[in-house]
């Protein structure tokens, strides 16, 4: 048995179910616990969080008290603890080294870390970028604990589960094009984007310098990680749109945002039903004939953890090509594609040929059961760390966070009851930002038996004071000093901003219509004067 500290980015954490997470993390933590280990897990929900701020004393003390024997930090999503613990620190790659937090600190203290990578390309990247030794790196492919079931009807033709990353598209192009670059600069910029897709760890400036591009106007990324996501997202939409009319159902995050108005077929295919946990994934994939997988550009020759989940279900995987996948699943002959036209052709063939589809699914089940279960991962971790991670007794699992959730529920000693949504007090409260459905630690100031003032105590020493549901003051402690603000003014500004965002297009249209109305009025006046002059000439 070992005491294992784990840190991860739980991008789909739910308020109503704090410990819910994607199957890979759920199965990993559950597997460690069932193997007999005591697991303390920190989770957060901020994309690309770098943990540059000081570690809270409460979290520092929690780790010291736990006294871990191993630390497993997925994507290094945690503060630097190399000085806080003496045990091995494993940075477990689930996305890309580009998304590791505190990359400079890793470089400065590289001997303190070990690395687990999920694609062969990353092995070499870790060596070159961080100057790590071969003995510090272990290649362990993804696994799954999903199981297939014949009890659910195959009532879906094609499914996709994942995030829509195309929030703003290639927004880094607008500033570049606005500078009116010449043909050479445009050519260089296209090559920079292409080479960035091949190696997202490089910045545009580094690519310009390596290729000797002497451009007058250069392309820049506001945020390289954001650009990486947007590039992958647009390609994902193009692939899915090619099969949208074949009975596609999409689930996941950010599929009903404004940019999807330009992809109406995909928007119509979206089902907002939450599908996050291992059980929910099993039910979704086991009810489908085909499941699509598209790659992120960070997976240069690797693949998503969802690949193993799909291969363990009744759905037939259809995926973008990846050399690691072809090598690991060479006995399965997974249908793959490299273009929108090809993904459509493959899906049509499988929908029309049930025998071929069933044969692929059956072979996939055999390979998954043999090589891609958590027991295989545990064996490789034991070999890598040179220590046992298994006993005959089940261990314990505790999950905590600094961003609300179960630990916040412990903090809150009262749940504000849901009010009648038609009541005046509810509407006034919502207008000024008081949400009766949220959890707060509430106290009251009474005059006699009447509760006049309501004080909402939030985490991080912040208090909101209300007169009934009308906001009065915001009191916040920053750096040992108390900061006092008029809450009514803050809420009023937020309300005005919401009004402007909500109605900006209709206001703009009406504003632009004023000159048109004036021009139209002038024309009508001209026509009227001409008619009047004509009638007067007839009379005289």
**Which of the given ranges, 114-123, 444-453, 502-511, has the highest pLDDT on average?**
114-123
Looking at 392-438, list the stretches that DSSP marks H as alpha helix, in order from N- to C-terminal side.
Answer: 406-411, 424-431
pLDDT at 23 over 90: yes
pLDDT at 536 over 60: no
Segment 146-165 mean pLDDT: 91
Return the pLDDT at 200: 82
Helix, strand, coil distribution of the chain in percent, nearest 5: 45, 20, 35
pLDDT at 406 over 80: no
Express each pLDDT in 410-462 by its tens digit. Answer: 433 333 333 343 444 444 444 444 444 444 456 666 666 676 777 776 655 67
Contacts of 54 (CB under 8 A, 6+ apart): none
Which string of DSSP letters, residue by residue, matches 343-401?
A: HHHHHHHHHH-HHHHHHHHHHHHHHHHHHSSHHHHHHHHHHHHTS----SS---EEEE-
Quickly count: other Cβ atoms within 10 Å of residue 458's Cβ. 18
When pLDDT is cut at 50, 70 and 90, the band that residue 132 belongs to is very high
Express each pLDDT in 255-271 by its tens digit. Answer: 988 889 999 999 999 99
Express each pLDDT in 288-301 by its tens digit. Answer: 999 999 988 887 88
The answer to whether domain 3-143+374-400 and domain 156-166+235-371 are alike in fold is yes
Contacts of 256 (CB under 8 A, 6+ apart): 267, 270, 272
When pLDDT is cut at 50, 70 and 90, the band that residue 71 belongs to is very high
First to last CA, the chain: 114
Express each pLDDT in 43-60 by its tens digit. Answer: 998 877 889 888 999 999
Higher per-residue confidence, 228 vs 447 = 228
pLDDT at 239 over 50: yes
Return the pLDDT at 225: 82
Task: Read off the DSSP letter of residue 5.
Answer: E
CATH topology of domain 3-143+374-400: Rossmann fold (3.40.50)
According to CATH, what is the number of the domain 156-166+235-371? 3.40.50.2000
Return the pLDDT at 500: 64
Segment 132-137 mean pLDDT: 95
Using DSSP, state whether 159 is helix, strand or coil: strand
Return the pLDDT at 415: 35
Express each pLDDT in 312-327 by its tens digit. Answer: 999 999 999 999 999 9
Return the pLDDT at 358: 95
Return the pLDDT at 420: 41
Radius of gyration of the CA atoms of the chain, in A: 29
Q: Let me know: does 372 contact 308? Beta carbons within 8 Å.
A: yes
pLDDT at 388 over 70: yes
Segment 141-165 mean pLDDT: 92
Helix (H), strand (E), coil (C) string for 124-149: HHHHHHHCCCHHHEEECCCCCCCCCC
Quickly count: other Cβ atoms within 10 Å of residue 100's Cβ. 23
Segment 8-28 mean pLDDT: 83
Average pLDDT, the chain: 84
Return the pLDDT at 434: 45
Any idea where the domains of the chain sit in the sequence? 3-143+374-400, 156-166+235-371, 172-221, 412-490
Return the pLDDT at 428: 43
Number of helical (H) and strand (E) elements in the chain, helices listed first: 18, 17
The C-alpha atoms of residue 152 and residue 148 are separated, in whole angstroms, by 10
- For the four alpha carbons of 458, 7, 26 and 257, in that order, the dihedral sign comes to positive
When pLDDT is cut at 50, 70 and 90, the band that residue 463 belongs to is confident
Give phi and psi for 199, each to the nearest 5: -150, 85
- Percentage of the chain exceeding pLDDT 90: 54
Q: Let me know: does 441 contact 457? Beta carbons within 8 Å.
A: yes
Higher per-residue confidence, 514 vs 370 = 370
* Residues 189, 191, 194, 198, Cα dihedral to 10°: -120
Return the pLDDT at 328: 95
Closest Cα to residue 27, out of 386, 376, 314? Answer: 376
pTM above 0.85, yes or no: no
Return the pLDDT at 413: 36
Segment 167-178 mean pLDDT: 87
Return the pLDDT at 507: 55
Q: Do the bridges between strand 462-467 and strand 450-458 make them parallel or antiparallel, or are there none, so unpaired?
A: antiparallel
Q: Let me know: does 371 contact 365? Beta carbons within 8 Å.
A: no
Return the pLDDT at 514: 65
**Which of the given ranges, 156-170, 337-351, 441-455, has the highest pLDDT on average?**
337-351
């Amino acid at each position: 048995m070992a005491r294992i500290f784990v840190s991860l980015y739980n991008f789909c954490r739910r308020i109503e179910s704090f410990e819910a997470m994607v199957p890979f993390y759920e199965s990993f933590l559950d597997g460690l616990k069932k193997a007999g280990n005591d697991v303390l897990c920190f989770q957060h929900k901020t994309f690309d969080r770098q943990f540059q701020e000081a570690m809270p004393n409460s979290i520092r003390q929690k780790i010291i008290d736990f006294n871990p024997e191993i630390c497993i930090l997925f994507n290094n999503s945690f503060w630097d603890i190399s000085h806080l613990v003496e045990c091995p620190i494993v940075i477990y790659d689930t996305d890309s080294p580009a998304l590791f937090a505190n990359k400079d600190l890793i470089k400065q203290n590289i001997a303190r870390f070990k690395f687990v990578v999920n694609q062969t390309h990353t092995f070499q990247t870790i060596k070159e970028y961080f100057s790590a030794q071969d003995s510090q790196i272990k290649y362990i492919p993804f696994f799954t604990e999903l199981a297939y079931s014949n009890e659910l009807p195959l009532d879906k033709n094609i499914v996709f589960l994942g995030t829509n990353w195309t929030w703003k598209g290639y927004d880094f192009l607008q500033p570049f094009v606005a500078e009116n670059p010449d043909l050479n600069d445009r050519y260089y910029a296209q090559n920079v984007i292409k080479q960035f897709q091949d190696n997202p760890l490089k910045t545009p400036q580094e690519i310009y310098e390596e290729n000797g591009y002497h451009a007058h106007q250069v392309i820049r990324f506001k945020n390289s990680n954001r650009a990486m996501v947007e590039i992958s997202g647009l390609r994902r939409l193009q692939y899915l749109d090619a099969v949208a009319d074949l009975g596609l159902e999409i689930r996941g995050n950010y599929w009903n945002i404004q940019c999807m108005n330009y992809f109406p077929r995909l928007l119509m295919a979206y089902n907002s039903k939450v599908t996050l946990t291992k059980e929910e994934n099993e039910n979704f994939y086991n009810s489908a004939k085909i499941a699509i997988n598209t790659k992120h550009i960070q997976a240069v020759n690797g693949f998503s953890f969802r690949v193993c989940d799909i291969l363990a279900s009744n759905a037939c995987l259809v995926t973008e090509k990846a050399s690691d996948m072809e090598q690991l699943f060479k006995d399965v002959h997974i249908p793959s594609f490299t273009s929108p036209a090809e993904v459509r052709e493959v899906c049509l063939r499988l929908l029309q040929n049930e025998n071929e589809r069933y044969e692929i699914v059956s072979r996939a089940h055999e390979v998954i059961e043999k090589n891609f279960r958590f027991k295989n991962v545990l064996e490789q971790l034991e070999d890598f760390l040179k220590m046992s991670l298994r006993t005959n007794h089940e261990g314990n699992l505790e999950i905590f966070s600094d961003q609300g959730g179960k630990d916040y529920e412990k903090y809150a000693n009262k749940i504000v009851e849901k009010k009648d949504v038609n009541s005046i007090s509810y509407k006034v409260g919502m207008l000024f930002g008081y949400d009766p459905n949220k959890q707060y630690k509430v106290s009251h100031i009474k005059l006699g038996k009447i509760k006049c003032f309501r004080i909402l105590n939030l985490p991080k020493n912040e208090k909101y004071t209300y007169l009934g549901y009308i906001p009065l003051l915001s009191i916040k402690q920053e750096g040992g000093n108390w900061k006092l603000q008029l809450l009514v003014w803050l809420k009023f500004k937020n309300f005005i901003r919401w009004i402007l965002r909500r109605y900006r297009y209709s206001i703009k249209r009406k504003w632009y219509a004023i000159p048109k109305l004036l021009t139209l009025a002038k024309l009508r006046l001209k026509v009227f004067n001409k008619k009047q002059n004509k009638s007067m000439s007839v009379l005289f």
